[in-house]
Amino acid sequence: MSSPRKLVTDLCQILLVLVPMAIIVFTAAGCSEKSEQAKNAEANTADVARKELDTESKGPPNIIVILADDLGYGDISVTGGRVKTPNIERLAAEGMRLTDFHTSGVVCSPTRAGLLTGRYQQRAGIPGVIVADPSGLTHENGLQDREITVAELLQKEAYDTAIFGKWHLGYDPLYSPLNNGFDKYAGFVAGNIDYFSHIDQSGKHDWWRDRELNVEQGYATSLINDYAVKYIEQSRSTPFFLYVSHAAPHYPYQGPDDSAERQAGAQFEVYSADGDVQATYREMVLEIDRGIGDIMRALERTGQDKNTLILFFSDNGANEYGSNAPYRGYKTTVWEGGHRVPFIARWPSKIPADTVRSQLSSSLDVMPTIMDIVGIPIVDAPALDGSSIAPLLYGERGNSNRQLYWNGVAMRDGDWKLVIADGKPKLFDLSSDPGELNDLSTSNPQMVTEMLAAIRAWQADISTDMTQQPVPLPQ
């Protein structure tokens, strides 16, 4: 009888022959046609790798600011509005909505100045629209060197920075976005352009790539969306700040399937509103919504989703073709409908999903909030009027006991709103009267007196800290 040790030795020798033969047989069978299970395994492995990259993203976050133009509070479905916007709905479901968010201006240029600097636009010398007409009073004005933008501060901290879309802070090349903190630029400097020919309302071609005029075919909103997606998909080793500044739904009212209305040197109607404006308006809003979906999917594809903060809002309320329901007034007015706008913040790893907050906040808060989130102190810059709402976005309780001002003729003090209309102060308690229908000034004279004094103090403060423009304007 063989010994136990010899039996083990013989068994090992047999296995050394059989195991390689089995491996060869199974390998040959697999080479003839990869099984569906193996293919799925590889796909799952790639998906897991992407998710791990996404989840483990560390370091300073990417920041994307998406700004609509003249989009009203009642225009989109997420605020109960008339246009079904599924991607904006998704943005809100995965983030936080602020229902008492306001722009610092009630028209284009002022809000943009306040947004980028965190200071009332009056301090920057931009209380009104910078016009395209070379003979216009404000045409020579723009964002001066004294003003420090959020893009400049981020650029100094090794952020890649880009703006695609509407600038509207100066026509002179001196005021180019590239001189105000942005590394890349594609878009237009005017307040509006033809969506196809890219002609501004003074009749000039206005589509730029960095510092050069560029003839580029395409519907403006789609071009802006595409530039944003391509920028996100670029390989980089540093975080980025992306400002997606839409033209829509500002006039001229043109949908993606329409055609050019303006040609250089030709006569055209600036405020064209032919045909079914409501249907066209809807198409313009839907193209913004489509782009937001594309941006979110690009972030997911590139593994940057969990480490990217998206802020979405409008530059002021809608005009009469849009809806600011349930609020009173339109763009250019200081009623709530002129400056209370939809706001959504989404950052999957930080901001609680599907949340709504009602704390009073402003577009002036965007700049200090971004700097707070990325952990960069604001130094060597003029004093700010906005304040960080990062704690609110993280889910903490916000502070509504603050004051906001509009053009020296309106202010908020918590839920109280004072509007000087027809030379007379009118007082409203927005907690019970959000539509500003019931004037309480006669029954609350002390509150009226205090708020009028606060407006005068604000005006005096502004007058001592105004950036000089080539053409000074009354504030």
135: Cβ contacts below 8 Å, ≥ 6 apart: none
Residue 150 near residue 157, CB atoms below 8 Å: no
Tell me how far apart the alpha carbons of residues 274 and 261 are, in angstroms, rounded to a whole number: 11
How far does CA 220 lie from the centroid of its chain?
17
- Token digits of residue 3: 């010994």
Q: Round to the nearest angstrom and report the end-to-end CA distance of the chain.
A: 112
For this structure, is 139 an active site residue?
no
How far does CA 253 lie from the centroid of its chain?
21
Region label for 170, one of left (φ > 0), alpha (ψ between -120 and 50) or beta (otherwise)? left
Tell me how far apart the alpha carbons of residues 364 and 116 are, in angstroms, rounded to a whole number: 8
Which DSSP letter does residue 284 get? H
Nearest CA-CA partner of 373 in 400, 392, 398: 392
Which of 12, 31, 102, 108 does the annotation list as catalytic? 108
Which of 12, 102, 139, 168 does the annotation list as catalytic? 168
Query: 330-369 as b/e, with b when 16 or more CB fall inside 10 Å?
Result: bbebbbbbbbbbbbbbbbbebbeeeeebebbbbbbbbbbb
Tell me how far apart the alpha carbons of residues 328 and 338 are, in angstroms, rounded to a whole number: 8
How far does CA 412 lie from the centroid of its chain?
24
Tell me how far apart the alpha carbons of residues 438 and 101 are, in angstroms, rounded to a whole number: 22
Q: What are the angstrom distances between the C-alpha of 387 and each of 26, 266, 272, 360, 364?
A: 66, 47, 39, 11, 7
For this structure, is 168 an active site residue?
yes
Could you give the residue ranges of the DSSP H alpha helices within 375-436? 390-393
DSSP string, 121-165: TTTTT-SS---SSTTSTTTT-B--TT---HHHHHHHTT-EEEEEE
Could you list the active site residues?
108, 168
